[in-house]
Amino acid sequence: MSKKNDYDPSEIKRAMGMTAKNRVSNTVIYVVLVIMSIVWLIPFFCIVFQSFRCESTWMAGYVFPTKWGLDNYINLAKTDFWKWYTNTFIIAVVVAVFQTIIVLCMSYTLSRFRFKMRKGLMKFMLVLGLFPGMLTMIILYRVLKDLNMTQANAVPGLILVYIASSGMGYYVSKGFFDTVPKTLDEAARIDGATRAQVLWKIILPMAKPIVIYTVLTAFMGPWGDFVFARYISMNTSAGMNVAVGLQSWLSLDQINNRYTMFCAGGVIVAIPVTILFLCLQKYYVEGVTGGAVKG
């Protein structure tokens, strides 16, 4: 792994004594960043405010509610929301586990082994990845239907599809493995370790950032899928994920009664993802920078 350092150009400058010019430019930077933060946070807070609005349930043209309360959150329990939430959570957890395993298998193999079909395989997958995924929606639906994995059974169906195609997303973690020196493997091989042992005992413990990065991205994906998941669940409430379920509240016959609940549901969806993301941000950064850019 390349050497990391916490070198910060600004600190040297400070050590050398701040010039007036620097002070001006720092002020400008702070002002810009404050304005940016406001712009970035406005929609976020607006959505949160909407979720606490109790005086009406439709889309309103103003930001601050006249009557605050938790009605929208409480009312969620009267709908299938928690069923959708559980569905999504199950999907996200299972997919996170299996996708991580598959991605690690693929990326480690393609980074470490040199076999006959390797280059061809990588090119082939690169080409496959260039087809718009939207196109295969219809046919995946029919295949899953024949396996009885649509509508009320959409959860296993979605899990299957997400996992099955996850091998394609090996680039980032392959890039990461490429930065792990090969000499480590070779030393262990000389000591008599099999390839499997090398992976388990030596590489995996080192790959913590990329494992966490993969788990995080795999876990976040299913929360926002509202196109494919909608197709697979075919309006059966029991098989919806939270994105599809919430989207169904925006249809013409429901939006007037459900819009504020939609916002409340959205806030609840955002909570676990936000917390995870904030806690694991460090690894995310290490993961992408270690892998994505070199993929």
Partner 1 sequence: MKKVLAIVLALVMVLGLAACGTPANNNTPANNTADDKPLAGTYKIKVWAAENNQELTKKQIEAFNQSNDMGIVIEATVEAVSEADAGTNMITDIEAGPDIYWFAQDQFARLVNAGALDKLGEGASKTVSEANDPGVVAAGSINGQLYAYPATSDNGYFMYYDKSVIPETDIDSLEKLIADCEAAKKYFAFEAQTSAWYIASWFFGTGCHSEWEMDNDGKYTGVKDDFNSANGLIAAKGLYKLVSSPFHLSSSKGAEFESGAAIVVTGTWDYEVVQKILGDNMGVADLPSFEVDGKQYHLGSYNGCKLVGVKPQTDAKRGAALHQLAQYLTDYDRQMERFNELAWGPANLKAQSDDKVKANPGLAALLQQNAYSVPQGQIHGSWWDIAKVIGDDVKESGGTDEGLKAALQKYQDKIDALFSMSDEEKNAWTVIGDINGDGWSIDLPMEEVSAGVWKTTQKYDLKAGNQFKCRQGKSWDVSIGNGGDNYVVEKDGSFTIVLTLNGDSGTITLE
Partner 2 sequence: MANYSDLEYLRLSKGQKFAYKLGHFFLSIPRAIGRLFVNIGKGIGKGAKGIGRSLADIGSTFRNGDGITKGSFVIMGLGNMARGQILRGILFLLFEIVFIFYMVTTGGYWLSMLPSLGHQGPAQEYNPIYDTYVTTYHDNSFKILLYGVLTIFFIIAFIYTWRANLKQAKITQEMREKGIRLKSGKDDLRSLVDEGFYKTLLALPLTGIIIFTVLPIVFMILVAFTNYDGTHDGYFNSLFNWVGLENFNTMLSWEGGGNVYSATFGEVLTWTLIWAFFATFSNYFLGMFVAMMINKTGRTFKKGWRTILVLTIAIPQFISLLYVSKMFAKNGIVNGFLMNMGWIETALPFFEKAAWARITVILINIWIGIPYLMLIVTGILMNIPADLYESAKIDGASGWKQFTKITLPYMLFITGPYLVTQFTGNMNNFNVIFLLTGGGPTNPAASGASGSVGYTDLLVTWLFKITTGAESKYYLASVVGILIFVVVAVITLVVYNLLPSVKNEEDFQ
Q: Which is nearer to partner 2, 83 or 145 (CB)?
A: 145
Q: Which does 252 bind (CB under 5 to 8 A by kind): partner 1, partner 2, none?
A: partner 1
Q: How far is the CB of 206 from partner 2 (least distance, A)?
A: 14
- Contact range with partner 2 by CB under 8 A, out of 23-31, 68-76, 89-97, 232-240: 23-31
Query: At how many degrees (to 10) do helices 137-146 and 154-164 cross?
Result: 120
Q: How far is the CB of 285 from partner 2 (least distance, A)?
A: 4
Please select the residue that binds partner 2; options are 19, 179, 235, 257, rule is CB under 8 A. 179
Report the C-alpha gap between 231 and 141 in whole angstroms: 7
Q: Which does 251 bind (CB under 5 to 8 A by kind): partner 1, partner 2, none?
A: partner 1
Residue 159 in contact with partner 2, rule: CB under 8 A = no
Which residues have a Cβ under 8 Å from the Cβ of 287 and sit 6 or more positions away?
172, 173, 176, 209, 210, 212, 213, 214, 216
Count of other CB atoms within 10 angstroms of residue 64:
11
Q: Which does 145 bind (CB under 5 to 8 A by kind): partner 2, partner 1, none?
A: partner 1
Which residues have a Cβ under 8 Å from the Cβ of 37 and sit 6 or more positions away?
none
Both tokens of residue 7? 């070198």
Report the C-alpha gap between 109 and 293 in whole angstroms: 19
Report the C-alpha gap between 62 and 50 in whole angstroms: 9
Residue 6 in contact with partner 2, rule: CB under 8 A = yes
Q: How far is the CB of 280 from partner 1 (least distance, A)?
A: 34
What is the C-alpha R_g of the chain?
24
Report the C-alpha gap between 137 and 63 in whole angstroms: 38
Q: Which does 191 bind (CB under 5 to 8 A by kind): partner 1, partner 2, none?
A: none
Residues that bind partner 1 (CB under 8 A): 56, 58-62, 141, 143, 145-147, 150-151, 231, 234-237, 248, 251-254, 256-257
Tell me if 47 sits within 8 A of 246, measured CB to CB: no
DSSP string, 70-128: SHHHHHHTTTTHHHHHHHHHHHHHHHHHHHHHHHHHHHHHHHH---TTHHHHHHHHHHH
Range 34-73, binding partner 2 (CB under 8 A): 36-37, 39-41, 43-44, 46-47, 50, 59, 61-63
Please select the residue that binds partner 2; options are 53, 85, 261, 286, rule is CB under 8 A. 286
Range 240-269, binding partner 2 (CB under 8 A): 243, 246-247, 250, 262-263, 266, 269
Range 93-152, binding partner 2 (CB under 8 A): 102, 105-106, 108-109, 113, 115, 125-128, 130-140, 142-143
Residue 15 in contact with partner 2, rule: CB under 8 A = no
Residue 167 in contact with partner 2, rule: CB under 8 A = yes
Please select the residue that binds partner 2; options are 4, 15, 191, 252, rule is CB under 8 A. 4
